[in-house]
Amino acid sequence: MMEHDLILVLDFGGQYSQLIARRIRDLHVYSEILPYDAPVETIRPKVPKGIIFTGGPRAVTDERAPLPDQAIFHLGVPILGICYGYQLMARLLGGQVVEADTREYGSAVLTPDVTHPLFAGVEPETVCWMSHTYTVSEPPPSFRVIARTPSCPAAAAADDRARLFGVQFHPEVVHTPRGNDILRNFIRLCGAKDDWIMENFAEETIARLRAKIGGGKVLCALSGGVDSSVAAVMLHKAVGKNLTCIFVDNGLLRTGEAKAVEETFRDRFDMRFVRVNAETRFLSKLSGITDPEEKRKIIGAEFIRVFEEEARKIGAVDFLAQGTIYPDVIESGSKHSAVIKSHHNVGGLPETIDFKEIVEPLRDLFKDEARRVGLALGIPEGMVFRQPFPGPGLGVRCLGEVTEEKLLILRRADAIFREEIASAGLSRDIWQYFAVLPDLRTVGVMGDERTYSHTIALRAVTSLDAMTADWAEIPHGVLKIISNRIVNEVPHVNRVVYDITSKPPATIEWE
């Protein structure tokens, strides 16, 4: 199987750490993320072609500032420090870092040395995105300044002999228009091959799955969403009839969802497909539960219990397969990051499971990468670009306690929202759109009578990778139609609101 060149990203806790890895992959070079304190003994066997130090929230002058294994500078591979990573490199190698006289947050005019290979092809004056309080006042003695802004005289510096480079700005964000060119130039300085292509990934992963699983049996947790669907098709290509897909109808699905999933996978893909009707079971477990994290963990644990029971019916199932993707892992927290929300298939898993191993073919992919794999596998576009749907389903869109009555209201409102977005021709322009039922009621007037009924919140966002998102600017006329339909067609609803918050500070889902 093909071995890919690697650009390693060391994460110092910056808000854009995952985005850096994402941008490197966009340039067709494989990247991985490790925590900032990964020992050189862990890094060396990976044979990285280059290393990137990310930004971070701490000051390098802080006594408890996160530091890498300093033997990393003796590996002999190019290193690019971004923001905190640049300041860290400067401080460790003999430069000076101070609190800036003028803080820079937002766009700045960058004047690079266009003769330097890091800025090859970049204009003599361009825009970059700054987000820093501290600055490199003196680069290390072996470095020379290769870019500046009006407020930052050493906006970038380089030690060409040691192949060490630092930039104070953020080339990974879209607000730095030539950022991808700068990252591409760094990749060239590393000598890394641009062979990270989703078609190749699919073929290689299927081969690895076949070698790993051998003649073992696999049970795949299939929701019908793009992630689990892609995982299921890859596994089917790898092990054929040794795969059984389990679809759990937990009562937390959208209108018509269960039937559509069953028809697609049983008929189109000719897979071993088992539908488990578990609505009563899940709703009874969720009775009286209002905390969103507790709901997620209950749903995650109950999924595993159902899969274990079905596996015992099949007999001697070795592997549980899931459609986990990279943002699920990031948001569920790790040693060096906060838990944003526990995903039912990561942080929501119980401590003990009755399987030899969990298989996650897409664990290192972002959503759009998973979609490209799906297209490469020949999965229909309608399924590949289907609306993302959380594993806990409507359980985390029905705020507060989950009841049958509230789920009925939410399903009807959500169906109307999706119908009208499709009717307006906006379904491919919006990354994700759905209805939420907040745990509140408001006063209204219907038929000259006072009402005290539910509110429906509409959420629609645009995004590339689900790590960041902007609220979608749906035309007012479309929103008006949706609102009118919901309050007229959905019982016990008298108010509709539209969420205009981006991620961050919010998440895409409400719980």
Just list the catalytic residues: 83, 170, 172
- Cβ–Cβ < 8 Å for 261, 224: yes
Fill in the amino acid letter for 144.
Answer: R
CA distance 472 to 425: 14
Q: Six-digit token pair at 368?
A: 């759009």
CA distance 469 to 462: 6
Strand ranges in 67-186 using DSSP code E only, listed in sequence order:
79-82, 96-112, 126-138, 144-149, 152-159, 164-167
Fill in the amino acid letter for 122.
Answer: V
- Cβ–Cβ < 8 Å for 268, 233: no
Q: What is the DSSP string of 252-271?
A: -PPTTHHHHHHHIIIIIS--
CA distance 252 to 278: 10
Backbone angles phi, psi at 255, to 5 degrees: -55, 125
Q: Six-digit token pair at 323?
A: 């459609």
Q: Six-digit token pair at 381?
A: 């576009």
Helix-strand-coil split of the chain, %, nearest 5: 35, 25, 40
Q: Six-digit token pair at 279?
A: 């609505």
CA distance 179 to 46: 26
Query: What is the β-pairing status of strands 449-462 and 493-498?
Result: parallel
Query: What is the β-pairing status of strands 126-138 and 96-112?
Result: antiparallel
